[in-house]
Amino acid sequence: MSTVRSRGPVPVVLLAGFLGAGKTTVLNHLLRSGSGLRIGVVVNDFGAVSIDALLVSGAVDGAVTLGNGCICCTTDADSLESVMGELAKPSAGLDVVVIEASGLAEPTALVRMVTAARSDRILYGGLIYLVDAEQFTETRTRHPQIDDHVALADLVVLNKTDRVSTDGAAAVHEAIRGANASAAVLSTTHGVLDPAMLIDLPDTVADDGPRQLELADLLADDHDAHDHDHAHLHDGYQSVDFSTATPLHPRALAAVLERPPVGVYRIKGVVFFDAPGHRGRYVVHGVGGHISVTATRWAADETPTTRLVVIGAGVDVDEVRTVLEATVAGDRTTDRQSMLAITRYEHQGRRAS
């Protein structure tokens, strides 16, 4: 179905959700779905280096990166507004702009930034909040404020349902309903979301009955909380960026993915190994004990370079850096046999054994 928007302000949709819930997966699905919808993309990562820009850029002509840390604190509202204004220029011909927040961003701050934008070329198109069906219960226990984030959503996407039983999914669904009685909730695997949802989001909300709390009330509540030292989700989290053009050793990297340093929750990036038959661009993910690897190709103008980010709470940053530096192959031979340590995780999202 082609769902091209008619003239008028361009909706700006926020895509949020905890670390590794599947935001980039959703975005890539939307970009590749061939819906005819012209989607502008803004990405933001918690770390100083935007890995997400590398992970979506193959699918879009230049995702705009809001760099240098979590969008909700370090990006000033003016730069976000000017990025949105540029993307919404009629000459850009976009139907919708999607901002993928970092996995530790405060959606409330983002909603406030978009709704406060003065440009009449854009309008707030709603919040899509992604939930990792397997991790949600634990994440909510660690971070009770996640319920406030869910409460703000217009659409909650219950992703990774392949990782839970029917009863498990129902329990998470109930928890989502407890936090937000009015938003539509869609179950997905691998972020397969109908692109039409991006522009039909406000209607979805209207059809679904009145919000438990009006947006203005939710934003006002959070504002009060900010004035009283409200803790942000990313407080207590650290990120370590690692970049090298020297090939990594597959067994050494697999060991880090399988037994990451204490406190590490998320590892992601692109990796260069120099093994016969395996000189491609490996996209590597670790989320809460699951590892997945996808072999892709380097762009013609790309120098093979490893770029990884490691995120966790209470991690020893120096230790992580040392551990990552030790994955460089150096004098160690990388043969087909040693690549099995990595390729066994290809496409499968397997839990480290």
Query: Would you tell me which residues interact with ligand GTP (CB under 6 A)?
Result: 17, 19-25, 52, 103, 159-160, 162-163, 189-191, 266, 268, 285, 287, 292, 349
Report CA-CA distances (Å) from 62 to 22, 43, 53, 56.
20, 10, 8, 9
Between residues 21 and 270, which has the closer beta carbon with respect to ligand GTP?
21
Q: Smallest gap, in angstroms, from Cβ of residue 70 to ligand GTP?
A: 11
Q: Residues 128, 202: contact at Cβ < 8 Å?
A: no
Q: What is the 3-state secondary structure (H, E, C) of the chain?
A: CCCCCCCCCEEEEEEEECCCCCHHHHHHHHHHCCCCCCEEEEECCCCCCCHHHHHHHHHCCCCEECCCCCCCCCCCHHHHHHHHHHHCCHHHCCCEEEEECCCCCCHHHHHHHHHCCCCCCEEEEEEEEEEECCCHHHHHHHCCCHHHHHHHCCEEEEECHHHCCHHHHHHHHHHHHHHCCCCEEEECCCCCCCCHHHHHHHHHHHHCCCCCCCHHHHHHHHHHHHHCCCCCCCCCEEEEEEEECCCECHHHHHHHHHCCCCCEEEEEEEEEECECCECCEEEEEEECCEEEEEEECCCCCCCCCEEEEEEEECCCHHHHHHHHHCCECCCCCCCHHHHHHHHCCECCCEECC
Between residues 51 and 88, which has the closer beta carbon with respect to ligand GTP?
51
Q: Smallest gap, in angstroms, from Cβ of residue 285 to ligand GTP?
A: 3
Between residues 25 and 108, which has the closer beta carbon with respect to ligand GTP?
25
Q: Smallest gap, in angstroms, from Cβ of residue 44 to ligand GTP?
A: 9
Between residues 25 and 334, which has the closer beta carbon with respect to ligand GTP?
25
Q: Smallest gap, in angstroms, from Cβ of residue 203 to ligand GTP?
A: 26
Between residues 78 and 162, which has the closer beta carbon with respect to ligand GTP?
162
Report CA-CA distances (Å) from 43 to 14, 50, 59, 146, 255.
10, 8, 13, 21, 29
Q: Residues 98, 30: contact at Cβ < 8 Å?
A: yes
Between residues 46 and 334, which has the closer beta carbon with respect to ligand GTP?
46
- For 217, the token pair is 């009330």
Between residues 80 and 283, which has the closer beta carbon with respect to ligand GTP?
283
Between residues 15 and 275, which has the closer beta carbon with respect to ligand GTP?
15
Residue nearest to ligand GTP (CB): 103
Q: Smallest gap, in angstroms, from Cβ of residue 53 to ligand GTP?
A: 11
Q: Smallest gap, in angstroms, from Cβ of residue 213 to ligand GTP?
A: 26
Q: Smallest gap, in angstroms, from Cβ of residue 257 to ligand GTP?
A: 11
Between residues 140 and 160, which has the closer beta carbon with respect to ligand GTP?
160
Q: Smallest gap, in angstroms, from Cβ of residue 266 to ligand GTP?
A: 5
Q: Smallest gap, in angstroms, from Cβ of residue 317 to ligand GTP?
A: 18
